[in-house]
């Protein structure tokens, strides 16, 4: 079982790699799309401005690899802006399309209602059927650092075709903080900074990859 940590010039890769290893996922870090294309699972981190991150991702040559990987329903984990890139676009960068893997748009927190950026620990409210969140309890806390969000509507929890995940409240604003949709899994929070909950989530991802690919994880 081979897990590739995509290095496209954006993202806190060192911390993510350490957290994955601690959770039993010794992912190999790569800037080579061909090498990533042979992996059983992909991890896409991201932090910063949506437009700049999307431009770096497109320039890296990984977009086609990710699309083929997802078309083959192989496990994928997006982190922070790595979740936002899956959507159709973001108000942070009008006119720049996201990957459009999931239906939905990224919008800014209403600054009049809450402090922006949303930074620090906040509670997760799991819902639906998400193997990524197995064993994560209602009210468990994770670490966030973001100014933009994917809205979550309790009246329509099938938003973006997501079958399960978690929502989080920041003041009066409710947003999607984690999701599972087929082989696609993603978090708005940073599992690599979320201590016990983050390690549990990454261990769950390892279990998903083992189930789908078979064997133990390898970093080579």
pLDDT tens-digit series, residues 38-64: 999 999 998 889 999 899 888 999 999
Reported as a pLDDT band with limits 50, 70 and 90, residue 162 is: confident
Residue among 29, 53, 50, 24 at smallest CA distance from 39 = 29
Q: What is the mean pLDDT of the chain?
A: 89
State the helix-helix crossing angle for 63-71 and 50-60, rounded to 10 degrees: 80
Tell me if 187 is assigned to some domain: yes
Q: How far apart are alpha carbons 137 and 68 in whole angstroms?
A: 33
What digits encode the pLDDT tens for the residues 88-147? 999 999 999 999 998 888 999 987 667 889 999 999 999 999 999 999 999 999 999 999
In a 13 Å sphere around the CA of 128, the CA atoms on its Cβ side amount to 23
Domain range for 11: 3-213
Domain membership flag for residue 130 = yes
Tell me the catalytic residues. 80, 190, 192
Q: What is the pTM of this model?
A: 0.92
In a domain, 218, yes or no: no
Sign of the dihedral through C-alpha 25, 27, 33, 37: negative
The CATH number of the domain holding residue 175 is 3.40.50.880
Question: What's the total number of domains in the chain?
Answer: 1
Asked, for residue 220, whether it belongs to a domain, the answer is: no
CA 33 to the chain's CA centroid: 19
Bond preceding residue 31 cis, omega within 30 of 0: no
């Amino acid at each position: 079982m081979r897990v590739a940590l995509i290095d496209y010039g954006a993202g806190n890769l060192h911390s993510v790699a350490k957290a994955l290893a601690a959770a039993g996922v010794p992912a190999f870090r790569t800037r080579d799309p061909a090498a990533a294309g042979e992996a059983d699972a992909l991890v896409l981190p991201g932090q910063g401005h949506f437009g700049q991150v999307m431009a770096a991702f497109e320039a890296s040559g990984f977009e086609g690899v990710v699309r083929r990987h997802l078309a083959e329903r192989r496990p994928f984990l997006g982190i922070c802006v790595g979740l936002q890139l899956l959507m159709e676009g973001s108000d942070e960068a009008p006119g720049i399309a996201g990957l459009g893997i999931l239906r939905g748009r990224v919008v800014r927190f209403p600054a009049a209602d809450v402090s922006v950026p949303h930074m620090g620990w906040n509670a997760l409210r799991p819902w639906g059927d998400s193997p990524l969140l197995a064993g994560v309890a209602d009210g468990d806390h994770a670490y966030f650092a973001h100014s933009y969000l994917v809205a979550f509507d309790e009246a329509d929890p099938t938003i973006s075709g997501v079958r399960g995940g978690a929502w989080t409240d920041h003041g009066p604003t409710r947003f999607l903080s984690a999701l599972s949709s087929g082989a696609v899994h993603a978090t708005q929070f940073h599992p690599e900074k979320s201590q016990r909950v983050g390690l549990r989530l990454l261990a769950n991802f390892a279990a998903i990859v083992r189930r789908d690919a078979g064997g133990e994880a390898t970093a080579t």
